[in-house]
Amino acid sequence: MTTFRGPIDRATACFSDRPALVDGLSGEVTTFADLGRHTRAVAVHLDRLGVPPGGRVAFLADGSVPYAEWYLGVPAAGRIFVPLNTRYTETELRAACNDCTPDILLTDREQGLPGGLAPSVIAVTDIDLGMVPDRQAACVEVGENDPAAIFYTGGTTDRAKGVSLSHRNKLADALSFIIGFELQAEDRWLVMSPMFHAAGSFNVVPCTWVGAAQVFLPRFDAEMALRAIETHRTTATFAVPTMLAALCDAQERLGADTSSMRLLGHGGAPITAALLDRVARTFPGTEICGSYGATEMAPLATIHRHQERVLGMDRSRSVGLPVVGVEVRAEDVSGHSAAPGELGELVVTGPNIMLGYWGKSEATAQVLRDASYRSGDIGYCDAEGYVYVVDRSKDMIITGGENVYGVEVEDVLCSHPSVAEAGVIGRPDPRWGEVVVAVIVARTAVDAGELDRHCRALLAGYKVPRTYVIREEPLPRSAAGKLLKRELRQSMSAEPDARP
């Protein structure tokens, strides 16, 4: 394995005059030769700013070409890159910065930032990486096991933690990405997901390594993304399911030319069968590629190629096969590998597994055992090695001694044409322990009785919701598109409910 410097140097040597980074709005192009110079300029500026080897560089900004340059340049210079969530509140920002103690904070936010986040707060635009430095950076020895980045998790079940990823972790993931998505120099990857997420920026290193161009949008907007696909003839992108739904809506209005797209990847949250079918119909001729992973996995663990070929089949629910070099298995309560089709906790082993949670040895020990990551996800592997994720262990509902997995019920609810979104949670019950509650955002008018009949036709009786809550506002989600069931439970007391 190597460090971030390796992919940059290879790209500079092999693809110097080719487009590396493209501003999706202005069309301005940065070549790989430019990228090589700019990342070396990052090292000089970090020296000038007094950031020591191993120092943390926090980055709070929208996706952009400079974001990718700092993302690559900071680890290559022997410092640690810390992307911060642009949706964080002041309290969350302070918590992250208090946790990682950055030496500097780079931002595109001109005002409104609270004080005390870092010793030095600098506007990204105040540092011109295109100006050739008049001196060389100090030589910093960087090893493959040194931390390259700290990503703060979405915190869907707990307070966000800083996931420390080494150069080896990120480059192992990049190789899995290259092999799994069959990435080539001719590709043009559209970056439209938030880059502060591991899955929003996991394309940066592999695309650089193979000489593929990347087109950056500052934020996700479905119409903007479709225009970028049409204008820049992008070939691949990655989205969470809520973004895919928005792309379908916009494409049905605009009818953009998306014929250049060979691959539409998704992950970060479960996708319903209804949405998968809709994506296939809306973007014919484009491969739909599912995945499974987590920030702690850098983030890829599995890839499911060509889901559009298995629509309506059980295999369509799979998140795919483990990526090259990674093992995914289901373990039973005794710690043994579960038999094919038998439920267990998904455990992941490979060179992509994080170093640990920054400054949190106890939390690290809870999930890292014997060099494996215990995901907290319940799932199984079939006889051919395909992985299926059923639910988070913390979200499993136990009603009358029976286990109910909310994702399964949500998938059934979303197959009803009047349902736009569905979230299924458990509510304490003196008789049953818990009862199943469905929270629905309706696309068109629908009542609890109709939803109940729909569920009873497709689910065992104990899985059918006892209560249906129909609301107008969208369900609470993280910036990565994950349903925040903790917030959904907290909001339930103020919601009127309907029983069939």
Give 17-66 as a DSSP string.
TSEEEEETTT--EEEHHHHHHHHHHHHHHHHHTTPPTT-EEEEE--S-HH
Do 409 and 305 fall into the same domain?
A: no
Do 59 and 207 fall into the same domain?
A: yes
How many Cα atoms occupy the beta-carbon half-sphere of 32 within 13 Å? 22
The domain that holds 474 is classified in CATH as 3.30.300.30
- Provide the residue type at 214 as one letter: Q
**Residue 499 falls inside a structural domain:** no
**Residue 283 falls inside a structural domain:** yes
**Residue 76 falls inside a structural domain:** yes
Last residue of a domain, one of 387, 416, 445: 387
Quote the crossing angle between the two packed helices 241-254 and 273-282, to the nearest 10°.
Answer: 40
pLDDT on residue 87: 85
Last residue of a domain, one of 337, 357, 387: 387
Last residue of a domain, one of 387, 420, 445: 387
pLDDT on residue 113: 87
Q: Which pTM does this prediction carry?
A: 0.87
**Residue 322 falls inside a structural domain:** yes
Do 350 and 458 fall into the same domain?
A: no
Place of tokens 């119409």: 223
**Residue 301 falls inside a structural domain:** yes
- Looking at the DSSP bridge assignments, the partners of residue 494 are none
The domain that holds 373 is classified in CATH as 3.40.50.12780
pLDDT on residue 136: 81
Helix (H, G, I), strand (E, B) or coil at 83: strand
pLDDT on residue 497: 58
pLDDT on residue 242: 84
Cα–Cα distance measured from residue 315 to residue 319, given in angstroms and rounded to the nearest whole number: 9
**Residue 447 falls inside a structural domain:** yes
Helix (H, G, I), strand (E, B) or coil at 153: coil
Domain count for the chain, please give it: 2
Q: Which ranges in 386-447 belong to alpha helices (H)?
A: 406-414
Do 446 and 376 fall into the same domain?
A: no
pLDDT on residue 157: 43
pLDDT on residue 184: 98
Cα–Cα distance measured from residue 28 to residue 34, given in angstroms and rounded to the nearest whole number: 12
**Are 270 and 389 spatial neighbours (Cβ–Cβ below 8 Å)?**
yes
Cα–Cα distance measured from residue 370 to residue 193, given in angstroms and rounded to the nearest whole number: 33
pLDDT on residue 156: 41
The token duo for 367 is 């999930």
Which residue range is the domain that position 401 belongs to? 396-494
pLDDT on residue 155: 47
**List of the chain residues with pLDDT < 50:** 155-157
pLDDT on residue 133: 64
Cα–Cα distance measured from residue 242 to residue 324, given in angstroms and rounded to the nearest whole number: 28
Do 349 and 448 fall into the same domain?
A: no
pLDDT on residue 33: 97
Helix (H, G, I), strand (E, B) or coil at 147: strand
Do 192 and 156 fall into the same domain?
A: yes
Do 381 and 413 fall into the same domain?
A: no
pLDDT on residue 494: 55
Do 408 and 285 fall into the same domain?
A: no
What sign results for the dihedral spanned by CA atoms 425, 315, 229, 247?
negative
Do 45 and 147 fall into the same domain?
A: yes
pLDDT on residue 186: 98
Count of CB atoms within 10 A of residue 384's CB?
A: 9
**Residue 500 falls inside a structural domain:** no
